[in-house]
Amino acid sequence: MIQVFCARRGSGKTKRLIELANHQQLDAKGDAVYIDDDSRPMLQLSRGIRFVDTNEYNVEDCQSFYGMLCGIISSNYDIENIYIDGLFNIVKCTMKESTDLFRRIAGLTDRFGINIYINVNVDTSEEVPECIREYVA
């Protein structure tokens, strides 16, 4: 399952994503991973949640991000939830590339039974790409 949270920058998306991750970790049967391009949230996360700072891995485009996701999943078959904060801050991609990325991420969630929660910065609901609308919470 993919769930996308869309709102403007500064509206509290990161805080809510951290709260969701910490709350779900209390009852989770599997492991959790929190992905961000900013290390500040690391100290607010439960110790049981693995934090990945994308700046340490030179993730800049959709292909490298998808490859990183596959690597994370393949290294731990017990992952239940993945939280991605500010996807389009992490990767710079065109609309076509983002459509392909979401299609491929959906394939991963179906194949491995993983829940992926994604924060996306947008100023208005009209800015939400069509490929993302079906996943917006």
Per-residue pLDDT tens over the stretch 21-45: 999 999 989 999 999 998 888 899 9
Report domain extents, the chain.
Answer: 2-135
Architecture of domain 2-135: 3-Layer(aba) Sandwich (3.40)
The listed range with the strongest mean pLDDT (2-11, 27-36, 124-133) is 27-36
pTM of the model: 0.93
Which residues face 79 on adjacent strands?
A: 31
CA–CA gap between residue 130 and residue 123 (Å, rounded): 15
Distances (CA, A) of 130 to 17, 49, 67, 110, 133: 22, 31, 23, 20, 5
